[in-house]
Amino acid sequence: MANVRVTMEVGNDGVAVIKISNPPVNALAPIIIAALKEKYKEAMNRDDVKAVVLMGEKGRFSGGFDINVFQKVHKSGDLSALPNVSVDLVVNTMEDGKKPSVAAIEGLALGGGLELAMGCHARIAAPKAQLGLPELTLGVIPGFGGTQRLPRLIGMKKAVEMMLTSKPIMSEEGNKLGLIDAVVPSGELLKVARAWALDIAEKRKPWISSLRRTDRLGSLSEVREILKVARQQAKRTAANLPQHQTCIDVIEEGVVFGGYSGVLKEAIVFNDLVLSNTSKGLVHTFLAQRAISKIPNVTDIGLKPRQIKKVAVIGGGLMGSGIVTALLLGNISVVLKEINTEYLQKGMKTIEGNLRGLVTRGKLTQDKAEKALSRLKGALDYSEFKNVDLVIEAVIESVPLKQSIFSEIEKICPPHCILASNTSTIDLNTVGEKTNAKDRIVGAHFFSPAHVMPLLEIIRTNNTSPQTILDLMAVGKTIKKVPVVVRNCTGFAVNRTFFPYTQGAHVLANLGVDVFRLDRVISNFGLPVGPFQLQDLAGYGVAMAVSKEFAASFPDRTFQSPLVDLLIKSGRNGKNNGKGYYIYEKGSKPKPDLSVLPIIKESIRITNIMPDGKPISVSDQDILEMILFPVVNEACRCLDEGIVVRASDLDVASVLGMSFPSYRGGIVFWADLVGPQHIYTSLKKWSEVYGSFFKPSEFLEKRAMKGIPLSAPASTSESSRSRM
Ligand X SMILES: *[C@@H]1O[C@H](CO)[C@@H](O)[C@H](O)[C@H]1NC(C)=O
> Least distance (Å) from ligand X to the CB of residue 553?
6
Residue from 211, 183, 26, 37 nearest 104 by CA: 183
User: Which residue among 17, 18, 27, 125 contacts ligand NAD (CB under 6 A)?
Assistant: 27
Beta bridge partners of 444: 458
Positions in 123-182 near ligand NAD (CB under 6 A): 134-135, 137-138, 166
Nearer to ligand X, 317 or 378 (CB): 317
Tell me if 480 contacts ligand NAD by CB under 6 A.
Answer: no
Among ligand NAD, ligand X, none, residue 659 binds (CB under 5-8 Å by kind)? none
Q: What phi and psi, each to the nearest 5 degrees, are found at residue 62?
A: -165, 140
CA distances from 227 to 242, 249, 295, 355, 548 (A): 15, 9, 46, 38, 52
> Least distance (Å) from ligand X to the CB of residue 198?
29
Integer Cα distance of 657 and 534 in angstroms: 13
Among ligand NAD, ligand X, none, residue 64 binds (CB under 5-8 Å by kind)? ligand NAD
Among ligand NAD, ligand X, none, residue 68 binds (CB under 5-8 Å by kind)? ligand NAD
Beta bridge partners of 391: 312, 419
User: Which residue among 83, 100, 112, 330 contacts ligand NAD (CB under 6 A)?
Assistant: 112
Nearer to ligand NAD, 137 or 547 (CB): 137
Residue nearest to ligand X (CB): 317
21-52: burial string, b at 16+ Cβ within 10 Å, e else: bbeebbbbbeebbebbbebbeebeeeeebbbb
| AA identity, residue 203 | K
Integer Cα distance of 676 and 698 in angstroms: 12
> Least distance (Å) from ligand X to the CB of residue 86?
8
Positions in 400-419 near ligand NAD (CB under 6 A): none
Nearer to ligand NAD, 108 or 704 (CB): 108
The three-class DSSP label of residue 218 is: coil
Residue 178 contacts residue 153 (beta carbons within 8 Å): yes
Among ligand X, ligand NAD, none, residue 84 binds (CB under 5-8 Å by kind)? ligand X
The DSSP 8-state label assigned to residue 713 in this structure reads P
> Least distance (Å) from ligand NAD to the CB of residue 420?
26
Among ligand X, ligand NAD, none, residue 319 binds (CB under 5-8 Å by kind)? ligand X
Residue 146 contacts residue 179 (beta carbons within 8 Å): no
Positions in 537-556 near ligand NAD (CB under 6 A): none
Integer Cα distance of 414 and 418 in angstroms: 9
Residue from 482, 435, 497, 486 nearest 460 by CA: 486
Integer Cα distance of 423 and 395 in angstroms: 8
Among ligand X, ligand NAD, none, residue 544 binds (CB under 5-8 Å by kind)? none
> Least distance (Å) from ligand NAD to the CB of residue 22?
9
Nearer to ligand X, 21 or 293 (CB): 293
Terminal CA-CA length for the chain: 44
Among ligand X, ligand NAD, none, residue 137 binds (CB under 5-8 Å by kind)? ligand NAD
| AA identity, residue 263 | V
Residue from 249, 280, 289, 278 nearest 265 by CA: 249
Among ligand NAD, ligand X, none, residue 523 binds (CB under 5-8 Å by kind)? none
CA distances from 541 to 373, 564, 573, 576 (A): 32, 9, 8, 10
Beta bridge partners of 460: 487
Nearer to ligand X, 240 or 341 (CB): 240
Integer Cα distance of 530 and 526 in angstroms: 9
> Least distance (Å) from ligand NAD to the CB of residue 428?
31
Among ligand NAD, ligand X, none, residue 67 binds (CB under 5-8 Å by kind)? ligand NAD
Tell me if 114 contacts ligand NAD by CB under 6 A.
Answer: no
> Least distance (Å) from ligand NAD to the CB of residue 67?
4
Residue from 483, 561, 498 nearest 534 by CA: 498
Q: Is 383 exposed, middle or buried (0-12, 13-18, 19+ CB in 10 A)?
A: exposed
Structural Rg of the chain based on CA atoms: 29
Residues 6+ positions from 363 with CB-CB distance below 8 Å: none
Stretch of 103-111, 496-504, 606-614, 666-674 lying at the interface with ligand NAD (CB under 6 A): 103-111
Q: Count interface residues toward ligand NAD (CB under 6 A).
A: 19
Strand 15-21 relative to strand 51-56, pairing: parallel
Residue 563 contacts residue 599 (beta carbons within 8 Å): yes
Nearer to ligand X, 55 or 546 (CB): 546
| AA identity, residue 35 | A
> Least distance (Å) from ligand NAD to the CB of residue 56?
11
Strand 390-393 relative to strand 376-379, pairing: unpaired
User: Which residue among 108, 114, 141, 195 contacts ligand NAD (CB under 6 A)?
Assistant: 108
Nearer to ligand X, 184 or 211 (CB): 211
> Least distance (Å) from ligand X to the CB of residue 426?
5
Residue 318 contacts residue 667 (beta carbons within 8 Å): no
Among ligand NAD, ligand X, none, residue 65 binds (CB under 5-8 Å by kind)? ligand NAD
Could you give the residue numbers annotated as active site? 115, 135
Q: Is 674 exposed, middle or buried (0-12, 13-18, 19+ CB in 10 A)?
A: middle
H or E stretch including 374? helix 366-374
> Least distance (Å) from ligand X to the CB of residue 447?
7
> Least distance (Å) from ligand NAD to the CB of residue 687?
39
> Least distance (Å) from ligand NAD to the CB of residue 168?
7
Integer Cα distance of 196 and 204 in angstroms: 9
DSSP characters for 60-92?
--B--B-HHHHHHHHHH--GGGS---IIIIIII
Integer Cα distance of 646 and 670 in angstroms: 15
Nearer to ligand NAD, 251 or 334 (CB): 251
Strand 130-132: give its sheet, edge to edge: 108-110, 130-132, 169-170
The residues of the shown chain that bind ligand X, judged by CB under 6 A, are: 84, 87-88, 92, 267, 277, 296-297, 315, 317-320, 331, 394, 396, 422-428, 443, 445, 448, 459, 462, 488-492, 495, 538, 542, 546, 553, 673-674
Tell me if 443 contacts ligand NAD by CB under 6 A.
Answer: no
Among ligand X, ligand NAD, none, residue 483 binds (CB under 5-8 Å by kind)? none
Integer Cα distance of 555 and 393 in angstroms: 30
Stretch of 107-115, 175-183, 406-414, 695-703 lying at the interface with ligand NAD (CB under 6 A): 107-115
Tell me if 25 contacts ligand NAD by CB under 6 A.
Answer: yes
- Interface map 46-65 toward ligand NAD (x if CB under 6 A): -----------------xxx
Among ligand X, ligand NAD, none, residue 286 binds (CB under 5-8 Å by kind)? ligand NAD
Positions in 378-397 near ligand NAD (CB under 6 A): none
Nearer to ligand NAD, 3 or 608 (CB): 3
Site for ligand NAD, rule CB under 6 A: 25, 27, 63-68, 108, 110-112, 134-135, 137-138, 166, 286, 289
